[in-house]
Amino acid sequence: MAVTAEKGQVPISRNRLLGVAGLAWMFDAMDVGILSFVIAALQSDWNLTAGQMGWIGSVNSIGMAVGAFVFGIYADRVGRKKVFIITLLLFSIASGLSAFTASLAAFMILRFFVGMGLGGELPVASTLVSESVEAKERGRTVVLLESFWAAGWLVAAVISYFVIPSFGWRVALLLTALPALYALYLRISLPDSPQFTARKNIGRSVADNVKAVWTKAYARPTLMLWIVWFTVVFSYYGMFLWLPSVMVLKGFTLIKSFQYVLIMTLAQLPGYFTAAWLVERAGRKFVLVAYLLGTAASAFAFGEAETVTALLVCGAFLSFFNLGAWGALYAYTPEQYPTVIRGTGAGMAAAVGRIGGILGPLLVGWMLSANAEISIIFTIFCVSIIIGALAVAFLGTETKQQELETDLRES
């Protein structure tokens, strides 16, 4: 299938679109993944407290919340492609500049702008891909797009394992600036969404779009998305940004913790691929609920684990189920709204989720400062994920292989 291009552009195939958007997605994951390792390295270099370490992850999520909200709305005004490129450039440049900082304050300011780019790019990219493929393969394609996140984490883990111990965290961050060059290629080769091109958002204000998300026709899916996004992002960033540091707290050296997290990260790929296979067969709701419950069980078991074998096995299952659930969530979210408010609805849901991403790392830092047991921390994340699964089960509707809406339904 060829994706319809803008006037004057060459059409792009579905697989090429997936590759183009997927590589940008991979760079996003590489940046987030490297941050989790950099936090552990900064703790040693700058003698950071657990609270300061938590704030590094949280300021990144504050930027992501702002970026998801602002750029999601902007995508409904000027198009998916333009926002996709702007956000990619923003996070690439800010990430590269953060390698030259000499203070925690300067580092955190730049991490805010990195977060803005990341937070805006992710929902816009999934919306662009959703609107560019046929209904029968839309869910699988978006989950496969999300699978590039695992590839990015793997690259981050490899860079962190081989680069940070020998060359330092600054060199690792410089490598994350490479996507800025790739963004220039995207500007030339990537067509905008054919649905957006066909239905320009003329005559609708930003306020109209924001209010439409909470009209009677869309209030239930909006409530469901806000709950599941908050609980999933809260637990994901609370757990995964702290994962190398948690391994150190469990008694492993920094290099050893990097090695173990790399092994755990490998489990993300089969998590995505199984979710991509199931999402068009069993449906979005089944995959989301099943994989979220699997994540909850794995989080609880990881918190209780003490031996190397138990930690690796539980960590692998945590990666498998959590990232599979993420893939289904990104496929499910754009399907809840019509074209005219799809970017706004997806962006607002992601922004609410990023509020959870702010609180998760802070909670871990605060609880560790208070000498709380790691098992208690992971139990909290377990309960959070169960709440998200229940929201999907009771408030969500199945959207498998349904055509995307173009016009607003009557309230």
**Hey, what domains does the chain have and what are their CATH numbers?**
12-191+206-395 (1.20.1250.20)
**What is the rounded average pLDDT for all residues in the chain?**
85
Which range is least confidently modeled, 160-169, 180-189, 285-294, 394-403? 180-189
In this prediction, residues 86-101 reach a mean pLDDT of 89
Q: Are 120 and 70 in contact (CB under 8 A)?
A: yes
- 300 has pLDDT over 50: yes
In this prediction, residues 193-201 reach a mean pLDDT of 73
In this prediction, residues 128-145 reach a mean pLDDT of 86
Which DSSP letter does residue 3 get? E
- Choose among 25, 27, 48: nearest CA to 93: 27
Instruction: Give the model's pLDDT for residue 203.
Output: 62
Mark 251-290 as b/e (b = at least 16 C-beta within 10 Å).
ebebeebbbbbbebbebbbbbbbbbbebbbeebbbbbbbb
3-state secondary structure of 177: coil
3-state secondary structure of 12: strand
3-state secondary structure of 239: helix
Contacts of 185 (CB under 8 A, 6+ apart): none
Which range is least confidently modeled, 84-88, 109-113, 193-197, 407-411? 407-411
Q: Which amino acid is at 358?
A: I
Instruction: Give the model's pLDDT for residue 158.
Output: 82
Grade residue 255 by pLDDT with cuts at 50, 70 and 90.
Answer: low
- 138 has pLDDT over 50: yes
- Other beta carbons within 10 angstroms of residue 324's beta carbon come to 32
Torsion of CA 87, 93, 94, 98, to 10 degrees: 150
Grade residue 8 by pLDDT with cuts at 50, 70 and 90.
Answer: very low
Instruction: Give the model's pLDDT for residue 67.
Output: 93
Please state the pTM of the whole predicted model. Answer: 0.82
